[in-house]
Amino acid sequence: MVAGPIGRYAMTKEQLDRINVLFHFTDRRNLVSIREHGGLLALAEMKRRGIQIPAPGGNQWSHDVDGMRGLDEYVHLCFRWTHPMEYVARADGRITDSVFLNVHPEVLRWEGVLFTPDVSNKSGVQAHPIEEAANMIDFEVLYSWTDWRDPAIRERLSQAEKSEILVPRFIPLDLIRNFPNG
């Protein structure tokens, strides 16, 4: 078990070590604002600061649901450089030039981090403290070689790609490994 700022993890050190990067998708038009504000801010934090998002990934419905469920207090991350909500945002035209920012997994050790086993604002999806996520994350399909041509494996991967890590309020630039210099 790993001791950290939030106490004992149900996840083993080996499981935590397998997660070498997390991802946050955004539109390239948002990068200037992210740089100006020192990192990724939760939607509620942006509202409190009066920050307008140049190209929001979520639509009004998703923002409203996030607000009702308190999910707007979190920066949303995923395990892979794909997420079904990014696809929907591109298809709807809210995002035209996707960028997947690589976030250091140190955020998993922060107090208040949550995990959802599906898209976080989907009806019926429960958020769990990260300490309880060990048995819910499909480490095998995410971090081991598996035959993605196998329909059962492909379904597991599809489900794992929908899951989210929710980080309270803010992720600073120094924990974004691939933030563009331009």
User: What are the angstrom distances between the C-alpha of 31 and each of 39, 46, 150?
Assistant: 9, 14, 38
Which of 1-5, 89-93, 125-129, 171-175 has the lowest average pLDDT? 1-5
The average pLDDT across 115-125 equals 95
* pLDDT of amino acid 10: 63
pLDDT band at 16 (very low <50, low <70, confident <90, very high): confident
State yes or no: pLDDT of 115 exceeds 50.
yes
pLDDT digits (tens, 9 = 90+) for 51-100: 999 999 888 999 999 999 999 999 999 999 988 888 888 898 899 999 99
Tokens at residue 143, please? Answer: 């971090």
Tokens at residue 93, please? Answer: 């035209």
pLDDT band at 126 (very low <50, low <70, confident <90, very high): very high
State yes or no: pLDDT of 116 exceeds 60.
yes
pLDDT band at 118 (very low <50, low <70, confident <90, very high): very high
Q: How far is CA 40 from the centre of its chain?
A: 11
pLDDT digits (tens, 9 = 90+) for 157-178: 999 999 999 999 999 999 999 9
State yes or no: pLDDT of 4 exceeds 80.
no
pLDDT band at 45 (very low <50, low <70, confident <90, very high): very high
* pLDDT of amino acid 131: 87
* pLDDT of amino acid 11: 73
Contacts of residue 129, defined as CB under 8 A and 6 or more positions apart, other chains included, come to: 113, 114, 115
Q: Look at the alpha carbons of 56, 60, 62, 63 in this order and tell me if their dihedral is positive or negative.
A: positive
